[in-house]
Structure 1
Amino acid sequence: MGVANRNQQAWVDASTFAERAAAQAVEKAGLQPGDITAIVTSNTTRWAAPGLDVHLVDKPGLRPDVRRIALATVGCTGGAQALTRAADLVNRTPRRPRHRRRL
């Protein structure tokens, strides 16, 4: 399998996994996709434009104005930074009992 094929498969795997994980997190939290105000993505397997954030906004039915923070091509630290950014967003969001949940 050449580099181009591996890159394509990496995108398919990453986008499929991200979509599934996002849908499960929203369901587990008892929310609807439209309740989500921000998403943070990190993908170190493959550089892609548009990135996972653009893919996710369309697929699970998130609002088109959802805040997106894409940490792509930043290596392994991207995952740690994604968690940090997500925690910052949750902690700085005004409290709304039903909607302020960590996914």
Structure 2
Amino acid sequence: MTAVGRDPGLQPERTRLAWRRTTLSCTVVALLAGRQALDSGVSGAGVIAVALSLLAWLGFLGVAHRRVTGLGTAEPVPLSPRRALTAAACTVALAVFAAATLF
């Protein structure tokens, strides 16, 4: 007995929700970094760190949006290595820039 079509079950929905949760977490980190920079006083380094945090957040948001949109098809294509690397780099960069606003 062979399967005619792919039955993904709820896996695409779980993956979509995971991308949304991660995007929400990145948004919170970027907002907290901005708030910390404003609370500690506006300095040149703080403004640069917040701007870079915003850029990293936008990069991750773009990758996540493309992935969530791509999961809406019957047979979603796998995440390309380039997009996976971009998402990972944006996440690490966001953490580094957010930590930089503390110092």
Q: TM-score, normalised by structure 2?
A: 0.40
Greater length-normalized contact order (CA 8 Å, ≥ 6 residues apart): 2
TM-score when normalising by structure 1? 0.40
**Structure richer in strand, relative to its length:** 1
**Which has more helix, going by share of residues?**
2
Larger-gyration structure (1/2): 2
